[in-house]
Amino acid sequence: MTRVVLASRNAKKLAELRRILEPIVPGVQVLGLDDVEPFDEPAETEPTFEGNALIKARACLAATGLPSLADDSGLCVDALNGMPGVLSARWSGQGDAENNRLLLTQISDVPDERRGAVFRCAVALCTPDGAEVVEHGEMPGRILRGEQGDGGFGYDPLFAADGYDVSTAELPAEEKDAISHRGRALRTIAPAVVAALT
């Protein structure tokens, strides 16, 4: 069975990435960081999603010798000049619930028509032959007034994609995958994954 490593320990993110990738790349065995020998994971020090995705994919390839995928993604809020952006996971310095509370507080006085936001994602693939490919995906939408739904993770309960009246945390997994920033980036990079594994 052909193996590729997703440089993540986030169980919900791994499940999402596997759901999207496995039907596109038949026979692939998708490993997470908990499935490989531990290695020193680099800090995400780049100011862009692409830079951080490459840092993680390069380190994973160097440690495992296997084709390695990594994503970096975040929520870019218009009223916050694109923040939290690459700092999305660390916005409050604590966890998802605290991040969501902080975001709601920061834009509490912003009217509905100015609550635009976009989820952005960069997915990097690094392969043993030295190839590096990066693809991007976006999901535009808006920030809701409060959390809705208990699916997804991160800011999903606060985000409604364009054309939807529910949060992405309320969407069935397959429907979210079809429109999500990560889903779009992964479907675009899938041909490069197939090429690397054949």
11-15, 40-44, 61-65: the lowest-pLDDT one: 11-15
User: Strand 28-31 and strand 68-77: pairing?
Assistant: unpaired
Domain annotation for the chain: domains and CATH numbers = 2-197 (3.90.950.10)
The rounded distance, in Å, linking the Cα atoms of 165 and 183 is 20
Give yes or no: 72 in active site: yes
- Mean residue pLDDT of the chain comes to 93
The rounded distance, in Å, linking the Cα atoms of 25 and 164 is 29
Amino acid identity for residue 45 in this structure: T
pLDDT for 70 = 96
73 carries a ligand binding annotation: yes
Residue 57 contacts residue 193 (beta carbons within 8 Å) = no
pTM of the model as a whole: 0.91
Specify the 3-state DSSP secondary structure of 182.
Answer: helix
pLDDT for 1 = 55
Quote the radius of gyration of the chain (alpha carbons, Å): 17
Of these residues, 35, 72, 96, 112, which one is catalytic?
A: 72
Residue 66 contacts residue 31 (beta carbons within 8 Å) = yes
163 carries a ligand binding annotation: no
